[in-house]
Structure 1
C-alpha cells in the first residue's frame, strides 16, 4: 500500500517507517525540516516537505502523492507546552483530514493518548468518557484530543490509537530525557496516581497492525497499569538514580488504561510491562 506518514521524524515515526518499508509498503514521510530527509531515504522511504499549518500546500502535497492511507503521528512536544500540542491536534488534524479527503484517501490512523480519561474506578477502557471537567492546563489537552478524534472520525475508515506514556529512545523517559533528569535530581516523587506505559517500538507496531484493524478507538498500553509508588522506584533504579520521595495522592489523568481490545486484534507488545522494559532499555 501507498502510505503517507505525517510526523515521520518523531519518536514513533522514526521507528514506524522501517517497519512499514519492511512489510513492502511504499512509504512517504511528511516532514517540515529537510534535515530529516536523509534518514528517511536510508530507511527506504521517500519524503515530502510540508507544514501542516500551511493548508494550501498540504492540499497540494496530498493531491500529488495520492496515498491510500495517512498515518497521523504529529505532535508538538519539545517545549512541553500543552497549548502547542493542542493546536497541532486541532488545527493540524483539521488540515490533514480535509486534504486527505480531497485527495481520496480511504483510511487514517491517528495518534491520541490515554491520559485524558475522566476519573473513575480502575483503569479506563475505550468506552470511558474523556475528562471535560478537568481544570487547566489538563482541559486544553482533553479538548485537543477530543478535536483530533472527532475530526479523524470524518474519514471513511479510521483507527484512533490512544497511546499510553511513551518510553524509549528520544522520549521524555529516555535515559537522557526530561524525566530521567528529574528523577536523578530527586524531583520526581512516587505518588498514588496510576500510569500506563508503552514502549515506542510497541506503539509503532500497533500502527502497522492498524492498517487492517476495524474502524474504531484502541488503547495502546502495556498490560501493567501501576501507581507511581510502584513504577517510579523501578525507573529510578534502572537509571541508577536515588530512591524517590513518596507523596500521597494523585493528579487528574493518572488513571491508567486497559489494552484488551488491541490484544484481541492481534497486538502483542514486546514489553508486556514496564517492569521488564525499563531495565532493558534504560542505561
Structure 2
C-alpha cells in the first residue's frame, strides 16, 4: 500500500515509518526541515520537505506521492505551546484533508487524544462524547481536537486514534525529558501537564505501541478508538513510579486522596479504556506504566 505520513519525524512517526516499511508498504513522509527529510530517507522511506501549514505545498506533495492512505501524526509540541499545537490540529488537519480530497484519497488514520472526554465516573470508552466545556484553557484544547476529528471525518474512512499520554523515546516522560527535569527541580522545564501527585486519573501509552496501532489501523473501520494501556491510574500512583524509574526525586504526596478539585482531580480526568482496540487485535506491548516506565529507561530501548 502507498502510505503518506504527515508528522513522520515526531515521537510516534519516527517509529511508525520503519514499521510501515518493514510491512512492505511504500512510504512517503514529510518534514518541515532538511534534516528531518534526510532522517525519513534513512528510515527507508521517501522524504519530502514541506510544512503542513503551507496548503499549496502540501497539496503538491500529496498529489506527487499518490497515496492510498494518509496517516496524520502532526503535532507541534517541541515548545510546549498549546496554541501552536492547537493550530496544527486545526489548520494542518484542514490542509491535509483538502489535499486528500484533491488527490482523491479517501482514507485517513489520524492521531487524537483520550483526555478530551466529557466528565464522568470511571474511565471513558468511545461512546462517551467529547467535553463541551467553555472553561479555558481546556476549551481551546477540546475545540481543536473536535475540529481535527470532524475534519478528518470528511473523508470516506477516518480512523481516529485517541492516544493516552505518550511516554518513551522522544517524549516529555522519557529519561532526560521535560518531566524528569521538572521533578528534579528545574523550573524552566516546559511541558503541558502536571507533576502533582493527586487523584487526577490518566491513561498512558508507549510511543512504540501507539505506532503499532497506526500500522494496525490501516485496515480498521472508521471512527474513534482509544489507544491506551490497560491501567488508568491516579497521579498519586504513577508519578512516584515515574520518578523512581527516572532516578529523580519523587514529588511529595498529598496528605490523603480526596476526590474533587481540591485534590486536583477534575471530572474529565478519568482515563480511558482500550476494549475496542483490543477487539480489533491490538495489544499494548507495555500493558501497564508500572513496568513500562522502568523499561523505557533501559539503554537498549532509549538508545
Please indicate the TM-score interval, normalised by the length of the shorter structure: over 0.9
- Provide the C-alpha distance between the structure 2 equivalents of 1:176 and 1:20, rounded to a whole number of angstroms: 28
Aligned equivalent of 1:115: 115
Aligned-pair distance for 1:134? Answer: 4.6
Aligned equivalent of 1:87: 87
Unaligned runs of 5+ in 2: 188-194, 255-262, 299-303
Give the root-mean-square deviation of aligned CA atoms: 1.4
Aligned-pair distance for 1:132? Answer: 1.8
Aligned-pair distance for 1:215? Answer: 1.1
Partner deviation per Cα, 1:141-196 (whole Å, 9 max, x = no partner): 10000000000001111100000000000101011111111122298221000010
> Is the contact between residue 186 and residue 244 of structure 1 (CA under 8 Å) also seen in structure 2?
no
Aligned equivalent of 1:133: 133
- Provide the C-alpha distance between the structure 2 equivalents of 1:113 and 1:141, rounded to a whole number of angstroms: 10
Aligned equivalent of 1:53: 53
- Provide the C-alpha distance between the structure 1 equivalents of 2:226 and 2:18, rounded to a whole number of angstroms: 23
Aligned equivalent of 2:297: 282
Aligned-pair distance for 1:8? Answer: 0.5
Q: How does 1:96-175 map to 2 (within 5 A)?
A: 96-175=96-175
Bigger mean CA offset, 111-120 vs 30-39: 30-39
Task: State the number of aligned residues.
Answer: 283
Aligned-pair distance for 1:31? Answer: 1.0
Aligned equivalent of 2:212: 205
> Is the contact between residue 52 and residue 95 of structure 2 (CA under 8 Å) also seen in structure 1?
yes
- Provide the C-alpha distance between the structure 2 equivalents of 1:50 and 1:71, rounded to a whole number of angstroms: 15
Aligned equivalent of 1:220: 227
Aligned-pair distance for 1:57? Answer: 1.6
Aligned-pair distance for 1:243? Answer: 2.8
- Provide the C-alpha distance between the structure 2 equivalents of 1:244 and 1:186, rounded to a whole number of angstroms: 13
Aligned equivalent of 1:246: 253
Bigger mean CA offset, 7-16 vs 43-52: 43-52
Aligned-pair distance for 1:204? Answer: 0.2
Aligned equivalent of 1:234: 241
- Provide the C-alpha distance between the structure 2 equivalents of 1:218 and 1:77, rounded to a whole number of angstroms: 22
Q: How does 1:253-268 map to 2 (within 5 A)?
A: 253-268=268-283
- Provide the C-alpha distance between the structure 2 equivalents of 1:57 and 1:40, rounded to a whole number of angstroms: 18
> Is the contact between residue 30 and residue 37 of structure 2 (CA under 8 Å) also seen in structure 1?
no
Aligned-pair distance for 1:38? Answer: 2.3
Bigger mean CA offset, 13-22 vs 35-44: 35-44
Aligned-pair distance for 1:221? Answer: 0.2
> Is the contact between residue 38 and residue 47 of structure 2 (CA under 8 Å) also seen in structure 1?
no
Aligned equivalent of 1:269: 284
Unaligned runs of 5+ in 1: none
Bigger mean CA offset, 34-43 vs 172-181: 34-43
- Provide the C-alpha distance between the structure 2 equivalents of 1:40 and 1:125, rounded to a whole number of angstroms: 34
Instruction: Detail structure 1 runs of 4+ shifted over 3 Å in the superposition.
Output: none
- Provide the C-alpha distance between the structure 2 equivalents of 1:181 and 1:253, rounded to a whole number of angstroms: 27
Bigger mean CA offset, 133-142 vs 151-160: 133-142
Say which SS state the counterpart of residue 148 (structure 2) adopts: helix
Aligned-pair distance for 1:252? Answer: 5.7
Aligned-pair distance for 1:11? Answer: 0.4
